[in-house]
Amino acid sequence: MIITKKSLPRRTLLRGMGATIALPLLDAMVPAMTAQARTAAAPVRRLGYIYIPMGANLDEWTPPGEGDRLVQLSPILESLEPFKQGLTVITNLENRNAYSAGNHATANSGFLSAAKAKMTEGADYELATTVDQIAAQRAGVQTALPSLELSMDLQTNVGDCDNGFACVYQNNLSWSSPTTPLPSIAHPRVAFERLFGDGGTAAERRAELRIDNGILDWVRTDLTRLKKELGPGDNRTVDEYLDTVREVERRIQRAEETTEGVPLPDLARPVGVPAVYADHARLMFDLQTLAMRGDITRVMTFQLARETSNRTYPEIGVPDPHHPTSHHANDPVKLAKLAKINAFHVSLFGYYLAKLSSTPDGDGSLLDHCVLLCGSGMGNPDVHDHLNLPILVAGGGAGGLAGGRHIKYEEPVPLANLHLTLLDKFGVRLDTFGDSTGRVEELSL
């Protein structure tokens, strides 16, 4: 049978002077024949890692109850109640290769590498290719960006940051080779331009933005042409997606306008970002959602805060710096404050899950087609151990990920086992990774 209906390519882009905007999945991108439609509409898997520094108050993190069902969430995790059925908490994972004199540096560097960091204060640092970059090297050829690395803090520290370990180990979660750390983006404007900017220098694009209403004005001609080819449903989808792009851009512009002329900015925070930490984090999560929906990239990492961060959180009643608070010495007051910080970070992850669950993608939502790991490379921060890590797994994994579970190991199991398992769910099969000894079979349906 001859197919007469021609589908729109999945990589259809809106182009204009200084901008390239990828589109969400549309009905017009699915071929007419039913069998081919099933193939074309097969969900694209996405893989994301969200890092929480300096471990957690583990008594307040670990869910209560016996058995492997996630019946009740702990106080720190209670903001994730709407997503409990798609959530798995894993207890007693160990970041084994993080044990050394480094502690903070190796907690961060070992989280995605499962490797020992070379002790050095200079430029001869060495680690391993991280799990996100292994995924990106396989899937990145299909997207505009192989991966996206984001953070909340400027990475200005150099030299020795942690007992003979170079700052590069704390600054970077992602490494594309054992000697190539990938710097992350902390400024929403820079991340936005990375996703949608194309052509000219960054300064030229910013100058145009001051003249025009926004990036969508640059692709108006291409958008008008495209909309004539689409049906009503697809036009609504495009309008909704571009409205979100415009709203994110406006929030970035408002933050830049608000902070213009501020004489003494927070030295850990880029100039021109939202003044409130949560607003900054939500904006970065929104950018990740846009990147997923436009299939700009399928692999992302996000460092919610840096190890040894002295950030304060007065908005939740914790004006004390995070790092000293994490050294609680079993003081009930400090433990309570640490739990508040942990719960705050988890609630921001909950915001991300809500965004993904409400964003359509093919026959489901972005959350249905994601594999997300949220956690820390440190367990009890008071003693700088790397045992019993606070670890969450969320998302549907395109139908391949079991949820509503609390997996509790009697003996410590390498974090690398989880990395190997999530690579499977993403569609990348390896025999081993780092110090892995097997897979987390309980995550399979």
- pLDDT, one tens digit per residue, over 101-123 is 668 999 999 999 999 999 998 88
198, pLDDT greater than 70: no
Q: Over the stretch 367-382, which tens digit does the pLDDT of each residue have?
A: 999 999 999 999 999 9
Same domain, 156 and 290: yes
Q: Which residue has the tokens 């087609």?
A: 369
Taken in order 247, 28, 144, 301, the sign of the CA dihedral is: positive
pLDDT of residue 14: 79
Does residue 99 share a domain with residue 22?
A: no
On whether both 177 and 50 belong to a single domain, the answer is yes
Lowest-pLDDT range of 78-92, 193-207, 212-226, 417-431:
193-207
Boundary of a domain, candidates 272, 296, 330? 272
- Residues 336, 436 within the same domain: yes
Q: Rounded CA gap, 118 and 124, in Å? A: 8
Q: Are residues 211 and 306 in the same domain?
A: no
Same domain assignment for residues 439 and 322? yes
pLDDT of residue 305: 94
Same domain, yes or no: 268 and 301: no
| Residue at a domain's end among 256, 272, 288 | 272
308-325: per-residue pLDDT in tens?
999 999 999 999 999 999
Over residues 3-29, mean pLDDT: 73
Q: Do the beta carbons of residue 294 and residue 364 sit within 8 Å?
A: no
pLDDT of residue 244: 87
More confident residue, 386 or 8: 386
Q: Output the pLDDT for position 108.
A: 96
Residues 419 and 297 in one domain: yes
CA distance linking residue 430 with residue 187, whole number of Å: 34
In the chain, % of residues over pLDDT 70: 86
Q: What is the mean predicted confidence (pLDDT) over 209-233?
A: 76
> 256 with 325, same domain?
no
- Specify the range with the lowest mean pLDDT, choosing from 126-130, 190-194, 258-262, 412-416: 258-262
Residues 38 and 50 in one domain: no
Q: Give residue-wise pLDDT tens across range 41-93.
A: 578 999 999 999 999 999 999 999 877 899 999 999 999 999 999 999 999 99
What's the pTM value of the predicted model, to 2 decimals? 0.89
Q: How confident is the model at residue 199 (pLDDT cuts 50, 70, 90)?
A: very low
Do 179 and 277 lie in a common domain? yes
Q: Is the pLDDT of residue 272 over 80?
A: no
CB-based contact 417:436 (threshold 8 Å): yes
Number of structural domains in the chain = 2
Residue 228 is part of which domain span?
1-42+190-272
* Rounded Cα distance, 195 and 294, in Å: 9
Give the per-residue pLDDT at 329.
96
Q: Is pLDDT larger for residue 85 or for residue 246? A: 85
Over the chain, what is the mean pLDDT? 87
Percentages of the chain per state (helix, strand, coil), in multiples of 5: 40, 15, 45
Highest mean pLDDT among 33-37, 237-241, 309-313, 340-344: 340-344
Say which CATH number the domain at 102 has.
3.40.720.10
Are 65 and 137 part of one and the same domain? yes
Strands (E), 202-340: 299-303
What is the mean pLDDT of the segment spanning 90-97?
96
Q: Which of 228, 252, 272 is the last residue of a domain?
A: 272
